[in-house]
Amino acid sequence: MDRPAGHRIARRQPNDRVLEIGFGPGVGIELLADSVSLGKVAGIDPSEEMLEQTKDRNATGIATGRVELLRGSVERLPFEKAMFDKALAINSMQVWPDALAGLQETRRVLKPGGTVLLGFTRYSGQQKEGLTEILMAAGFADVRMVDVDGGFCVFGTNLVGTEEAAI
């Protein structure tokens, strides 16, 4: 079976540090923690209820220090610069108060060469128009859109130079 063109950049490595933005009930966090067995998974969500559900679902990962969950906003991520290899948001960007600011902040916490994946199901209400442009405006390169099972994903790469990442 042929894989979508964006599959290569979304592939996880066992030692990846991955950020999920808008983790909801924590199913994605749980799956990510299983697939990055030597790495770390962090998540941020503005909802206290989702934070509590996700903590319950991921209690083992939290206890072992492999999962970190925080309540907060994508526009002010509480993480250091260049901390993550990958970042993803599934069905959440359409409710961010300021998508451009959120994407710029996501880029800030990604390592040079790091990738962002924005996924949307057919029920998300997210329009395709303008998405690649907003990722490019936020500073991502190699931006592409891929249709997947009735929904779609947008990928981008943080090509910030090492001199800029050190600032």
Instruction: Write the pLDDT tens digit of every residue in 99-154.
Output: 999 999 999 999 999 999 999 999 999 999 999 999 999 999 999 999 988 899 99
State percent of the chain over pLDDT 90. Answer: 80
Mean pLDDT for all residues in the chain:
89
Q: For residue 6, tell me if it sits in a domain.
A: no
Q: For residue 5, tell me if it sits in a domain.
A: no
Return the beta strands (E) in the chain as ranges: 17-21, 40-45, 67-71, 84-90, 110-120, 141-148, 151-157
Structural domain boundaries, residue 133: 13-165
Q: Can you give the CATH number for the domain in which 70 is found?
A: 3.40.50.150
* pLDDT classification of 163: cutoffs 50, 70, 90: very low
Please give the pLDDT value at position 162: 37
Question: Tokens for 10?
Answer: 């979304």
The domain tally of the chain equals 1
Q: For residue 1, tell me if it sits in a domain.
A: no
